[in-house]
Amino acid sequence: MRVTFSLFHALAVLNWLLATESLIYFSLAVLQALEDGLKRADADPSVKAVTICGENGKFSAGADIRGFSSPNKQGLGLGPIVSLIERSEKPVVAAIEGIALGGGLEVTLGCHYRIAHVQARMGLPEVTIGLLPGAEGTQRLPRLIGVPAALDIITTGRHISASEALKLGLVDEVVEENTVEAAIRLANRLIGQPLGHRRLSLKPVPKLPNMEAFLTEALVKVKKRAQGCLAPELCFQAIKAATEQPFADGVRKERELFNILLTSGQAKALQYAFFAERAVEKWTTPSGASWKTASPQPIRKAAVIGLGTMGRGIVTSLVKAKIPVVALEQDLEYLNTGRKAVMLLLEREAMKMEQGGQTLDFNNPARLQFAVDFDVLRDVDLVIEAVFENMALKKEIFNKLSRICKPEAFLCTNTSALNIDEIASVTSRPQQVIGTHFFSPAHVMRLLEIIYGRHTSPTTIATAMQLAKVMKKVGVVVGNCFGFVGNRMMFPYVQQAVFLLEEGSRPEDVDQVLEDFGFKIGPFRMSDLAGLDVGWRSRKDQGLTGPTLAPGTSARQRHGYRYSPLPDLLCEKGRFGQKTGKGWYQYEKAGGRTAKPDPWIHSFLSEYRDTHQIKTRFIDQEEILERCLFTLINEGFDILAEGIASGPEHLDVVYINGYGWPKHRGGPMFYASTVGLPNILAKLQKYSEIHPDVPQLRPSAFLKKLVAMGNPPLNDWMSYLHRQSNKL
Ligand SMILES: CCCCCCCCCCCCC[C@H](O)CC(=O)SCCNC(=O)CCNC(=O)[C@H](O)C(C)(C)COP(=O)(O)OP(=O)(O)OC[C@H]1O[C@@H](n2cnc3c(N)ncnc32)[C@H](O)[C@@H]1OP(=O)(O)O
Ligand SMILES: NC(=O)c1ccc[n+]([C@@H]2O[C@H](COP(=O)([O-])OP(=O)(O)OC[C@H]3O[C@@H](n4cnc5c(N)ncnc54)[C@H](O)[C@@H]3O)[C@@H](O)[C@H]2O)c1
CA of 576 to the centre of ligand 2 (A): 17
pLDDT bracket for residue 503 (50, 70, 90)? very high
Q: CA torsion sign, 719 to 721 to 726 to 728?
A: positive
Query: What pTM does this model have?
Result: 0.94
Band of residue 10 on the pLDDT scale cut at 50, 70, 90? very low
Give the closest residue to 431 by CA, choosing from 452, 462, 414, 416. 452
Q: Which amino acid is at 117?
A: H
Residue 719 is classified by DSSP as: G
- The confidence score (pLDDT) of residue 73 equals 62
Which protein residue has the closest C-alpha to ligand 1 atom 51?
Answer: 61
The radius of gyration computed from the CA coordinates of the chain, to the nearest angstrom, equals 29
The answer to whether 335 and 368 are in contact (CB under 8 A) is: no
How many Å apart are CA 445 and CA 314, to the nearest integer? 10
What value does the mean pLDDT take over residues 386-400?
A: 96
> Span 387-393, mean pLDDT?
93
The reply to whether ligand 1 has any atom less than 6 angstroms from the CB of 76 is yes
With left for phi above 0 and alpha for psi between -120 and 50, is residue 228 left, alpha or beta?
Answer: left
Average pLDDT over residues 360-364: 89
User: Residues near 560 by Cβ (< 8 Å), separated by ≥ 6?
Assistant: 693
Query: What is residue 321's predicted lDDT score, i.e. its pLDDT?
Result: 97
422 C-alpha to ligand 1 centroid (Å): 43
* 513 close to 621: Cβ distance less than 8 angstroms: yes
The dihedral formed by the CA atoms of 560, 522, 539 and 601, expressed in degrees to the nearest 10: 90
Going by pLDDT thresholds of 50, 70 and 90, the confidence category of residue 13 is: very low
What's the mean pLDDT in 588-595?
96
What residues have CB less than 8 Å from 254, skipping those under 6 apart? 132, 133, 134, 136, 138, 139, 238, 241
Q: What is the pLDDT of residue 1?
A: 63
- Shortest-distance ligand to the CA of residue 69: 1
Q: What is the pLDDT of residue 26?
A: 75
Nearest CA to ligand 1 atom 27: 61
Indicate whether residue 282 lines ligand 1 (CB < 6 A). Answer: no
Domains of the chain are: 2-263 (3.90.226.10), 302-478 (3.40.50.720), 505-611 (1.10.1040.10), 621-720 (1.10.1040.10)
User: What CA dihedral angle connects 461, 669, 624 and 707, to 10 degrees?
Assistant: 130
Identify the weakest region by mean pLDDT among 15-24, 207-216, 617-626. Answer: 15-24
Task: Say which amino acid occupies 147.
Answer: V
Give counts: helices (H), strands (E), the chain: 27, 19
Burial code (b: 16+ CB inside 10 Å, e: under 16) for 422-451 equals: ebbbbbebbbbbbbbbbbeebbebbbbbbb
Question: Looking at residues 597-609, what average pLDDT do you find?
Answer: 98
- Of 146 and 362, the structure prediction assigns the larger pLDDT to 146
Q: What whole-number distance in Å separates Cα of residue 445 and Cα of residue 448?
A: 8
Summarised one tens digit per residue, pLDDT across range 403-419 is 999 999 999 999 999 99
At 450 the pLDDT is 98
Beta carbons within 8 Å of 288's beta carbon, 6+ residues apart: none
Q: Which of 333, 387, 532 to mutate to test the pocket of ligand 2 (most atoms within 8 A of CB)?
A: 387
Secondary structure element (H or E) that encloses residue 636, with its range: helix 621-641
The mean pLDDT of 627-636, rounded to a whole number, is: 98
Mean pLDDT for 305-333 is 97
Q: Give the mean model confidence (pLDDT) for residues 153-162.
A: 97
Q: Is-contact 2 15, C-beta < 8 A?
A: yes
Q: Is 483 exposed, middle or buried (0-12, 13-18, 19+ CB in 10 A)?
A: middle
> What confidence tens digit (pLDDT) does each residue in 73-113 have?
655 689 999 999 999 999 999 999 999 999 999 999 999 99
For ligand 2, atom 20, the nearest C-alpha belongs to: 308
Q: Is 306 in the pocket of ligand 2 (CB under 6 A)?
A: yes
> Is-contact 429 423, C-beta < 8 A?
no
* DSSP string across 678-718: HHHHHHHHHHHHH-TT-GGGSPPHHHHHHHHTT---GGGGG
For residue 121, give the ligand 1 atom closest to its CA: 34
The pLDDT of residue 77: 84
ipTM for this model:
0.94
Instruction: Name the closest ligand to CA 99.
Output: 1
C-beta 125 within 6 A of ligand 1: yes
Atom index in ligand 2 nearest the CA of residue 387 equals: 24
pLDDT value for 15: 33
Reported as a single tens digit per residue, the pLDDT across 424-463 is 999 999 999 999 999 999 999 999 999 999 999 999 999 9
pLDDT of residue 361: 87
**DSSP string covering 492-530:** HHHHHHHHHHHHT--HHHHHHHHHHHT-SS-HHHHHHHH
- The set of catalytic residues is 106, 126
CB distance 388 to ligand 2 below 6 Å: yes
Task: Please indicate whether residue 599 or residue 20 has the higher confidence score (pLDDT).
Answer: 599
pLDDT per residue as tens digits for the range 102-142: 999 999 999 999 999 999 999 999 999 999 999 999 999 99
The alpha carbon of 374 is separated from its chain's Cα centroid by a whole number of angstroms, namely: 35
Among protein residues, the one with the nearest Cα to ligand 1's atom 6 is 255
- Residue 17 has what pLDDT? 33
Judged by its nearest atom, the ligand closest to the C-alpha of residue 331 is 2
pLDDT band at 72 (very low <50, low <70, confident <90, very high): low
- Confirm or reject: Cβ of 123 under 6 Å from ligand 1: no
DSSP conformation letters of 236-270: HHHHHHHHHS-HHHHHHHHHHHHHHHHTSHHHHHH
Q: Does the pLDDT value for residue 482 go beyond 50?
A: yes
Q: What is the pLDDT of residue 422?
A: 98
* Angle separating helix axes 247-262 and 230-244, nearest 10 degrees: 170
Region 170-180: mean pLDDT is 96
Which pLDDT does position 8 carry in this prediction?
Answer: 31
- pLDDT at site 74: 54
Determine the pLDDT at residue 29. 80
Q: What is the pLDDT of residues 15-42, one digit of tens each?
A: 333 333 345 677 778 888 888 888 999 9
Return the ligand 1 atom nearest residue 258 CA. Answer: 6
The Cα–Cα gap between 583 and 597 comes to 10
Q: Which amino acid is at 601?
A: I
Q: Which of 432, 324, 442 is nearest to 386 (CA)?
A: 442
Name the 3-class secondary structure at 592.
Answer: coil
